[in-house]
Amino acid sequence: MARKNIFISHVHEDDDGLRKTKDLIKMKGFDVRDFSINSSKPNSAKAEDYIKYQILAPRIRQCSTLMVYITPKTKESHWVNWEIEYAQKLGIRIVGVWAHGHQGCDVPKELENYADAIVGWNSACLVKAINGENSFEGYSSPKVARYLCG
């Protein structure tokens, strides 16, 4: 079983979808170590710099992939955009995954700028993207070439 350290960037309202997405990846033989902060691993800190550099940054640095869980709420998240930009500065692979039923919604600005792949809620496509395939499914942007995962 392949072990990958993945930080899943998301908004907390989408925590339920994270569990389903992790299960989807596990069905393809991945042992996912989720370093993200969610309702089962909450963060009660208030100071923004402390949250960024003492809580989020160390977790992101431990990962080979930053996965962005894309829903309509993700686009405007200051935290999601910061996590993407931070991962990009470290050279960490950035993969967007459309939440089930949300393919084609607006993506966070930093994901548009730095994504290595954006794929649908499909285990085969997601595993390929995590493993290094640069594909863009259901997404067209003047900044990124569009490919279909097949």
Q: Which residues of 132-145 are buried (b: 16+ CB within 10 A; e: fewer)?
A: eeebbbbbeeeebe
Cα gap 10→33, rounded to integer Å: 16
Give the pLDDT confidence of 72-123 residue by residue, as tens digits. Answer: 999 999 999 999 999 999 999 999 999 988 888 899 999 999 999 999 888 8
pLDDT band per the 50, 70, 90 thresholds, residue 2: low
pLDDT score for 146? 39
Q: Which domains does the chain have, with CATH numbers?
A: 1-37+63-150 (3.40.50.9200)
Query: How confident is the model at residue 117, as a pLDDT?
Result: 95
pLDDT of residue 33: 64
Q: pTM here?
A: 0.85
- Per-residue pLDDT tens over the stretch 7-50: 889 888 887 887 888 888 777 776 666 666 666 666 666 788 98
Please give the full DSSP string across the chain, using - where no structure is assigned: -EEEEEEEE--GGGHHHHHHHHHHHHTTTEEEEE-S--TTS------HHHIIIIIIHHHHHT-SEEEEEE-TTTTT-HHHHHHHHHHHHHT-EEEEEEPTT-TTS---HHHHHH-SEEE-S-HHHHHHHHTT---B-S--BTTB------
The pLDDT assigned to 140 comes to 62
pLDDT of residue 77: 93
